[in-house]
C-alpha cells in the first residue's frame, strides 16, 4: 500500500497547485478543511515541504518530476524552531474544532493520537533545550554525511548539481546549529566531557582525511558510476567540483564546530546524568514518560530492571549448566568463558565481515518463509542487510533499521555494525536479525507505512515503547516458533533480553541515582558479558539519550502481558494471527491505547 499512499499525497499536492478553486485546493488552503484526514495530512505535508531533507528521505516527489528540494538543506535556526512550536499550537487549536460526533472511528483514533503528541509537545517545550544536538551518536557532524550517502539519490547530472549545491550550503546550516548549541551553553546545558572528546575526534578525522577519501566524495563517485547515466568525462568534471566544494564549504563548516567544542572542553565536567542540569530531574521524568508512554517513576523502572536481570541470568545459567559449562564462579565468569570461544566468531577480515552479511540475509529469508502460522499482515516492501558506514561505526550502535522509501524505490535496511568482530558472536545473530528485520522493525514499520487510509503522521508516530517493544517481542516470538532451537542461540536471545533489562537499571542509575559513567559501564559489563566496546558505546548512548533505552523492555512486557490477557480470556478462540493483526494494523500507538485495542478484540471475539 506504500504506492497507494504515495498516490494520495501526490494527488493532494498536485490538485491543490494545479486546479485552483477545486475541492482539493480548498482542502489545501482552508483554515479548517472539511475532511479531518485532509487536515492532518496537509499539516504534515506542509511541515515536510519546509524540510527539504525530509522530502528527499520520503522520496515521493521525484516521481512527479519535482526535484528542486534536493538542492537545499533544512533551516536549523532557532527562529525556525520557534515557528514550529507556534505552528503546533495552531494545529492543536484547529483539531479541537473537529467534533467527535462527526468523525469516523478511524478519525477519532487519529485525533486522539494527534492530541496526545501535541499535548506532550506543549508540556515539553520547557525542556526543549535539554539535549545535546551534537554528540557521539547523532548530530549534524555525522548526520549530514550519512544523509548525503544514504538518502540523496544520483540518477542524472541534475541530481549531481543538487548534491553540489548541498555541499555549498553546509556552512550555513552548521552556523545555525551552533546558534542553538551556544544558547544551551548559556543555560548551563553543556555535554559531558567525553561527548566533546568523541565529537572532536570524529570531526577532526573527517577534516584531516584526504578529500578523495571523504565519504561525501567517494559516495558521489560510486553513485554516478552506478547510475550508468553519466559518462566518464562528465563524472571527472563533477567530481572536481565536489572536491572544491568540500575544501571551500564542508571543511570550514566542520572547523566552526571544532573550534567551538575545543574551547568548550574547559567548561565540561565528568558528571554525566541529567540530574546535574537545571531542572534536570524533571526533564528526565518527562523523557521517561515520552519514551515509555507510561507514568512509571524512575524508581519503579530501576527496581523492575533489577528483578528482570536476576530472572534472566538464572535462565541463562541453567542452560549453560545443561551444556556442561562451569557456572560455579558466577554469571560473569560463565559468560566470559562462553564469549572467549573462538568457534563462535567469524574471521576478523573483510571476507569474514562479508560472510556475516550473507548469513544475516539467510537468517531473514528463512524466518520470512516460516511465519504463516503467526501472521496474516505482511509488508510489501523488501529488505536488505548492509554494513553501517565505516566512518561512523566505531561509535554507532550494534545495529539499526532504516525504513523503506515511501514510494517503494528503496527497501527497508538492516544496518549491521561490523567494527568489532567480537561484538558479533554467531549465537547472537538470529536474535539481532529478528529484532531489526523480520518480524521485528521491518514488519512493524513497513506495515505501518503501507496501511491504507492511515494518516501520514501515524506512519511515523514516535512511540518508542510500542516500536521497540514490538521488536524485542519479535525476538521472543521467533524463539517460541522454533527458529532458535540451538541452546546457544537461545542464550543469545536471553542475553539480548538481559541487555534490555540492564538498560532499565543503568539508565535510571545514571540520570536518577547519580551513577557515574564508570559505574554504569561496570554494572553492564558484569551483568551482560557483552564486549567492552559495545558496553562503552551503549552507556554513552544512554547518557545522551536519557530514557530511550528503557522503552524496549517496558514495551515488550506490555505486549506479552496483553497477549496473555487475550489468551486467558479467549481460550480456544485465541488466534495468534488475530492478535498480531490487532497489534500491527493501527501503526505505532501509546501503550494504553494498545491495551484498549486488545480489550476490544477480546470483547468482539467473545461475541462470535
Residue 462 phi, psi (nearest 5): -90, 50
Per-residue pLDDT at 13 exceeds 60? no
C-alpha cell at 328: 560455579
The residue segments making up the domain with residue 428 are 285-554
Q: For the residues 115-127, what does the mean pLDDT come to?
A: 95
Chain mean position to CA 82: 25
- Claim to verify: residue 206 and residue 289 sit in the same structural domain: no
Instruction: State the pLDDT confidence band at 397, using cuts at 50, 70 and 90.
Output: confident
Give the SS3 label for residue 387: strand
Q: Is residue 317 part of a domain?
A: yes
Percent of the chain with pLDDT strictly greater than 90 = 80
- Claim to verify: residue 529 and residue 472 sit in the same structural domain: yes
- Claim to verify: residue 370 and residue 347 sit in the same structural domain: yes
Torsion angle, alpha carbons of 422, 473, 387, 499, to 10: -30
Taking alpha carbons only, the member of 556, 401, 550 closest to residue 469 is 556
- Claim to verify: residue 295 and residue 262 sit in the same structural domain: no
Would the CA dihedral through 302, 308, 312, 315 be positive or negative?
A: positive
Q: Sheet of 399-402: strands edge to edge? A: 383-387, 412-416, 399-402
Instruction: State the pLDDT confidence band at 567, using cuts at 50, 70 and 90.
Output: very high
Q: For the residues 25-29, what does the mean pLDDT come to?
A: 75
Chain mean position to CA 145: 17
Instruction: State the pLDDT confidence band at 501, using cuts at 50, 70 and 90.
Output: very high
Per-residue pLDDT at 15 exceeds 50? no
C-alpha cell at 42: 496537509
d(C-alpha 177, C-alpha 253), whole Å: 11
- Claim to verify: residue 263 and residue 325 sit in the same structural domain: no
Lowest mean pLDDT among 43-52, 142-151, 223-232, 437-446: 43-52
- Claim to verify: residue 296 and residue 209 sit in the same structural domain: no
Q: Is residue 529 part of a domain?
A: yes
- Claim to verify: residue 264 and residue 326 sit in the same structural domain: no
Q: Is residue 114 part of a domain?
A: no
- Claim to verify: residue 266 and residue 299 sit in the same structural domain: no
Q: For the residues 490-494, what does the mean pLDDT come to?
A: 96
Q: Which of 270, 299, 320 is the last residue of a domain?
A: 270
| Residue predicted with more confidence, 345 or 452 | 345
In terms of phi and psi (left: phi > 0; alpha: psi -120 to 50; beta: otherwise), the region of 162 is alpha
Helix axes 105-124, 78-95, angle to 10 degrees: 140
Q: For the residues 571-591, what does the mean pLDDT come to?
A: 96
Q: Which of 270, 303, 321 is the last residue of a domain?
A: 270
Q: For the residues 164-193, what does the mean pLDDT come to?
A: 97
Residue 414 per-residue DSSP state = E
Q: What pLDDT digit, counting tens, does each position of 280-294 carry?
A: 999 999 999 999 999
Q: What is the pLDDT, as a whole number, of residue 24?
A: 66
Q: What is the pLDDT, as a whole number, of residue 120?
A: 95
Q: Are strands 412-416 and 399-402 parallel, antiparallel or unpaired?
A: antiparallel
Q: What is the pLDDT, as a whole number, of residue 8?
A: 42
Q: What is the pLDDT, as a whole number, of residue 291?
A: 97
Per-residue pLDDT at 124 exceeds 60? yes
Q: For the residues 492-504, what does the mean pLDDT come to?
A: 96
Q: What is the pLDDT, as a whole number, of residue 29?
A: 79
Instruction: State the pLDDT confidence band at 25, using cuts at 50, 70 and 90.
Output: confident
- Distance (Å) of CA 395 to CA 192, 349, 588: 16, 20, 28
Q: What is the pLDDT, as a whole number, of residue 22?
A: 61
Q: What pLDDT digit, counting tens, does each position of 527-543 carry?
A: 998 878 888 989 999 99
- Claim to verify: residue 190 and residue 296 sit in the same structural domain: no
Q: Is residue 40 part of a domain?
A: no
Q: What is the pLDDT, as a whole number, of residue 23?
A: 62
pTM for the complete prediction?
0.86
Q: What is the pLDDT, as a whole number, of residue 57?
A: 87
Q: What is the pLDDT, as a whole number, of residue 424?
A: 86
Q: What is the pLDDT, as a whole number, of residue 96?
A: 93
Q: Is residue 220 part of a domain?
A: yes
Q: Is residue 466 part of a domain?
A: yes
Instruction: State the pLDDT confidence band at 412, using cuts at 50, 70 and 90.
Output: very high
- Claim to verify: residue 396 and residue 542 sit in the same structural domain: yes
Q: For the residues 377-397, what does the mean pLDDT come to?
A: 86
Q: What is the pLDDT, as a whole number, of residue 375?
A: 96
Helix (H) / strand (E) containing 400: strand 399-402
Contacts of 568 (CB under 8 A, 6+ apart): none
Q: Which of 554, 576, 603 is the last residue of a domain?
A: 554
Per-residue pLDDT at 52 exceeds 50? yes
Q: What is the pLDDT, as a whole number, of residue 493?
A: 96
Percent of the chain with pLDDT strictly greater than 70 = 96
C-alpha cell at 182: 551556544
Cross-strand partners of 401: 414
Q: Look at the block and give the residue holding cell 503528541.
A: 117
Q: State the DSSP string of 471-489.
A: HHHHHHHHHHTTTT-SHHH
Q: Is the peptide bond before 221 cis (omega within 30 degrees of 0)?
A: no
Q: What is the pLDDT, as a whole number, of residue 19?
A: 39
- Claim to verify: residue 408 and residue 532 sit in the same structural domain: yes
Q: For the residues 69-77, what does the mean pLDDT come to?
A: 97
Q: For the residues 202-214, what does the mean pLDDT come to?
A: 96
Q: For the residues 113-130, what does the mean pLDDT come to?
A: 96
> How confident is the prediction for the chain on average, in pLDDT?
92
d(C-alpha 385, C-alpha 437), whole Å: 9
Instruction: State the pLDDT confidence band at 12, using cuts at 50, 70 and 90.
Output: very low
- Claim to verify: residue 157 and residue 305 sit in the same structural domain: no
Per-residue pLDDT at 301 exceeds 50? yes
Q: For the residues 332-361, what does the mean pLDDT come to?
A: 94
Per-residue pLDDT at 174 exceeds 90? yes
Q: What pLDDT digit, counting tens, does each position of 238-284 carry?
A: 999 999 999 999 999 999 999 999 999 999 999 999 999 999 999 99
Instruction: State the pLDDT confidence band at 45, using cuts at 50, 70 and 90.
Output: confident
Residue 389 per-residue DSSP state = P
Give the SS3 label for residue 71: helix
Q: For the residues 488-497, what does the mean pLDDT come to?
A: 96
Total tally of structural domains belonging to the chain: 2
Torsion angle, alpha carbons of 129, 135, 137, 138, to 10: 60
Q: Is residue 190 part of a domain?
A: yes
Q: For the residues 184-212, what does the mean pLDDT come to?
A: 97
Q: What is the pLDDT, as a whole number, of residue 158?
A: 96
Q: What is the pLDDT, as a whole number, of residue 5?
A: 40
Q: For the residues 566-593, what does the mean pLDDT come to?
A: 96
C-alpha cell at 23: 475541492
Q: Is residue 411 part of a domain?
A: yes
Amino acid at each position: 500500500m506504500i504506492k497507494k499512499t504515495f498516490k494520495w499525497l501526490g494527488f493532494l499536492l498536485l490538485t491543490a497547485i494545479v486546479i485552483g478553486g477545486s475541492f482539493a485546493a480548498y482542502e489545501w488552503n482552508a483554515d479548517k478543511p472539511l475532511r479531518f484526514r485532509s487536515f492532518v495530512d496537509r499539516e504534515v505535508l506542509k511541515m515536510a515541504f519546509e524540510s527539504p531533507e525530509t522530502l528527499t528521505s520520503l522520496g515521493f516527489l521525484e516521481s512527479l518530476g519535482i526535484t528542486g528540494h534536493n538542492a537545499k538543506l533544512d533551516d536549523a535556526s532557532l527562529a525556525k524552531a520557534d515557528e514550529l512550536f507556534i505552528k503546533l499550537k495552531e494545529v492543536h487549536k484547529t483539531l479541537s474544532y473537529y467534533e467527535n460526533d462527526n468523525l469516523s472511528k478511524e478519525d477519532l483514533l487519529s485525533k486522539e493520537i494527534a492530541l496526545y503528541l501535541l499535548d506532550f509537545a506543549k508540556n515539553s517545550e520547557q525542556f526543549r533545550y535539554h539535549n545535546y544536538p551534537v554528540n557521539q551518536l547523532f548530530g549534524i557532524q555525522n548526520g549530514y554525511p550519512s544523509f548525503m550517502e544514504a538518502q540523496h539519490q544520483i540518477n542524472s547530472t541534475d541530481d549531481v548539481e543538487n548534491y553540489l549545491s548541498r555541499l555549498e550550503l553546509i556552512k550555513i546550516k552548521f552556523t545555525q546549529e551552533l546558534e542553538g548549541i551556544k544558547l544551551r551553553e548559556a543555560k548551563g546545558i553543556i555535554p559531558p566531557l567525553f561527548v566533546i572528546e568523541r565529537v572532536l575526534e570524529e570531526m577532526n578525522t573527517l577534516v584531516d582525511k584526504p578529500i578523495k577519501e571523504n565519504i561525501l566524495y567517494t559516495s558521489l563517485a560510486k553513485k554516478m558510476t552506478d547510475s550508468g547515466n553519466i559518462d566518464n568525462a562528465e563524472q571527472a568534471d563533477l567530481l572536481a567540483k565536489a572536491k572544491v566544494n568540500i575544501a571551500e564549504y564542508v571543511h570550514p563548516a566542520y572547523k566552526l564546530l571544532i573550534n567551538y567544542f575545543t574551547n568548550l572542553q574547559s567548561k565540561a565536567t565528568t558528571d554525566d546524568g541529567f540530574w546535574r542540569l537545571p531542572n534536570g530531574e524533571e526533564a528526565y521524568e518527562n523523557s521517561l514518560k515520552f519514551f515509555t508512554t507510561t507514568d512509571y517513576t524512575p524508581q519503579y523502572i530501576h527496581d523492575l530492571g533489577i528483578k528482570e536481570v536476576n530472572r534472566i541470568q538464572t535462565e541463562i545459567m541453567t542452560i549453560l549448566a545443561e551444556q556442561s559449562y562451569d557456572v560455579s564462579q558466577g554469571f560473569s565468569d560463565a559468560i566470559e568463558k562462553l564469549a572467549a570461544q573462538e568457534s563462535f566468531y567469524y574471521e576478523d577480515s573483510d571476507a569474514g565481515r562479508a560472510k556475516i552479511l550473507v548469513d544475516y540475509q539467510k537468517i531473514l529469508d528463512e524466518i520470512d518463509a516460516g511465519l504463516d502460522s503467526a501472521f496474516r499482515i505482511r509488508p510489501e516492501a523488501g529488505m536488505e542487510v548492509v554494513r553501517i558506514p565505516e566512518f561512523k561505526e566505531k561509535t554507532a550502535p550494534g545495529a539499526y533499521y532504516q525504513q523503506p522509501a515511501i514510494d517503494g524505490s528503496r527497501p527497508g535496511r538492516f544496518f549491521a555494525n561490523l567494527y568489532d568482530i567480537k561484538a558479533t558472536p554467531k549465537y547472537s545473530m538470529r536474535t539481532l536479525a529478528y529484532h531489526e528485520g523480520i518480524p521485528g522493525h521491518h514488519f512493524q514499520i513497513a506495515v505501518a507505512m503501507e496501511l491504507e487510509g492511515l494518516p501520514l503522521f501515524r506512519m511515523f508516530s514516535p512511540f518508542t515503547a510500542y516500536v521497540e517493544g514490538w521488536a524485542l517481542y519479535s525476538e521472543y516470538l521467533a524463539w517460541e516458533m522454533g527458529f532458535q532451537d540451538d541452546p546457544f542461540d537461545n542464550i543469545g536471545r536471553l542475553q539480548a533480553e538481559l541487555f534490555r533489562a540492564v538498560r532499565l537499571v543503568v539508565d535510571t542509575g545514571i540520570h536518577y541515582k547519580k551513577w557515574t559513567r564508570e559505574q554504569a559501564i561496570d554494572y553492564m559489563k558484569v551483568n551482560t558479558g557483552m564486549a567492552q566496546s559495545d558496553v562503552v558505546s551503549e552507556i554513552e548512548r544512554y547518557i545522551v539519550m536519557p530514557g530511550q533505552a528503557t522503552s524496549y523492555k517496558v514495551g515488550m512486557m506490555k505486549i506479552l502481558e496483553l497477549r496473555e490477557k487475550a489468551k486467558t480470556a479467549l481460550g480456544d478462540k485465541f488466534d495468534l494471527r488475530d492478535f498480531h493483526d490487532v497489534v500491527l494494523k493501527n501503526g505505532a500507538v501509546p501503550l494504553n491505547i494498545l491495551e484498549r485495542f486488545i480489550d476490544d478484540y477480546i470483547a468482539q471475539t467473545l461475541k462470535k
